[in-house]
Structure 1
């Protein structure tokens, strides 16, 4: 029931958005609006997404298909995309021409002011039970992406959106068989054209890491968003449901991003969660240097002072905001070894850093 706000993820997120004044240029949904292609679930899932997008005052909402959004088992239709194409209400893309390209090519470039999104349908080949076991992008699609970017590439923020993961994501015993076929070739092309972020769903496990592209040594951040409202998420993956906002900053030299995450906790609603088992509440991507250098700079700023305001450190070393979770943890450990203690984890935006080498 929606009247039980703290137990209803949609009603709870709407209240959070209103209370915190959260806004977004675009709402992005990486697929699986329903379970096992259930029609009413699909209609409700997309309606909920539209509600959230309106509350965020987004300019538009963009989605892709998940494996559960495709009737590959012929449960409701003898055409696997019949339900998805019949949802309407701007699904998956509001612009009719862009939507037609998405259905026909299995992908579409959305060119917007200051940024572009490549929306990929990794469920494009889910025509039957066997083909639905993996995501896939065709070689012709990868060639199309390469040719398009060769002609149209510029310094816009460039984001790829898909449902399935393009590189291995088998932690938490989640398996290796559902990866995108030709995914490594896809990310190599995205790296060649200096894409700034790859967002995917499917794994129910929020995770942020880099893929090191071979051709130009570009590091492509790959962000698994986790799930928003899967009721069995804890039993499947031990991970809770999550909701994210992403800010991306780009100039001629580099691109950085920050991600804020809220976690849904039953009977408490959406919370900023910082326990060790969850995804970092505040994290980022785009740092290009060495963690040891950051530690040395922090140590130099603290010097012989006992306590320093952390915001003063961030002001002088803004790169700290753009560390992925594994880098943040590594920096925390280095600081501890140097007897520099934060008042909380980096993901908690600590208030101070203390130099315990200094005698009281």
Structure 2
């Protein structure tokens, strides 16, 4: 520290924790059930199971005193709209956030968090008994998802974006899955998500009318730019993701970082643009069991 700089003048460290793509499920943790095991996270594993990343993370926090200001959850908390697993995982994330002392937990919905698979040829169906609306369970979670603030939570589901901010950080959460459950499973958008022109107009207005902070984060599920480090072809980039990057990269509304999930690998790169190019962080996955053929050198779990 330079002699002329007092402790009061030092910039405060702002800590952001990220837990993405848990893909929590209620399947048996062996292959004799005949079902694919998507992740290590399941309520049946129990807190004593050392292969449960949530249990291990809570132990790490207790042992090291790990703390953060906010906890970001970029979607796919559950796998294949498993309602029981969603409830379990969201409560576990609340516990983790509380133990780290965060002031806010901010989520963004993933495609697996919605009942979006068609049943009986109905593109709006869920493929499960009772055929609930895509958002039927996730909107009933307690605390509310993706934000605890009631007004902003309603704005997220109505306008597909919402904001959470404090004195140092502005976080805008974007719903890239707004049409999931209302489109055919084989459509292009089903695998990519989108950033619609209507959402772009509303998001621009929000950015213009809210205070630029030292830290500005756009949280979403789908990636707006290809993850270059993948060892296989990436064909699931967000529709109009380039427009999202361009909007945030004008330099007029602060410097931005985009945090996303979906790809299950951690990656950090610059977005395109000529002015204030946003950083793009792919958060990886806290629980997904990665196929060694496609991810031979990647860690099985990521918590940032």
TM-score (norm 2): 0.74
Return 5+ residue gaps in structure 1 as ranges: 245-360
Rounded to whole Å, the distance in 1 between the matches of 2:64 and 2:222 is 31
Question: Contact conserved, 1:204 with 1:233, CA < 8 A, in 2?
Answer: no
Alignment of 1:201 onto 2:261: yes
* CA distance in 2: counterparts of 1:95 and 1:155, whole angstroms: 20
User: Segments of 4+ in structure 1 off by > 6 A?
Assistant: none
SS in structure 2 opposite 1:237?
coil
Equivalent position SS for 1:82: coil
Instruction: For 1:61 and 1:20, locate their aligned partners in 2 and report how far apart those are by CA, in whole Å.
Output: 21
Q: In structure 1, which of residues 36, 42, 51 is the aligned counterpart of residue 80 of structure 2?
A: 36
Distance apart, 1:170 and its partner CA:
5.4
Q: Name 1:354's counterpart in structure 2.
A: none
Cα deviation digits, residues 92-121 of structure 1 (max 9, x gap): 110111100000011112232221101001
- Point out the structure with max Rg over C-alpha: 1
Instruction: Summarize the alignment of residues 162-177 of structure 1 with structure 2, pairs less than 5 Å apart.
Output: 162-169=220-227, 171-177=229-235
Higher strand share: 1
Q: Distance in 2 between matches of 1:91 and 1:230?
A: 21
Q: 1:80 aligns to what?
A: 134
CA distance in 2, matches of 1:234, 1:94: 38
Corresponding residue of 1:101? 155
How far apart, in 2, do the equivalents of 1:226 and 1:149 lie?
27
C-alpha distance in structure 2 between counterparts of 1:57 and 1:122, whole Å: 29
* Distance in 2 of aligned mates of 1:236 and 1:79: 34
* Number of residue-to-residue matches in the alignment: 242
TM-score by length of 1: 0.63
SS of 2:278's partner is strand
Cα shift readout 1:168-220 (whole Å, capped 9, x = no counterpart):
12543444322111111111111112333110010001000111323xx2121
Unmatched 5+ residue regions in structure 2? 1-44, 118-125
Q: Give the equivalent residue in structure 2 for 1:229.
A: 287
Report the structure, 1 or 2, having the larger helix content: 1
Structure with higher RCO (Cα < 8 A, 6+ apart): 2
Q: CA deviation at 1:155?
A: 4.0
Measured after TM superposition, the shift of residue 59 of structure 1 is: 1.3
Structure 2 residue corresponding to 1:20, chosen from 64, 67, 76: 64
Superposition deviation, residue 233 in structure 1:
5.4
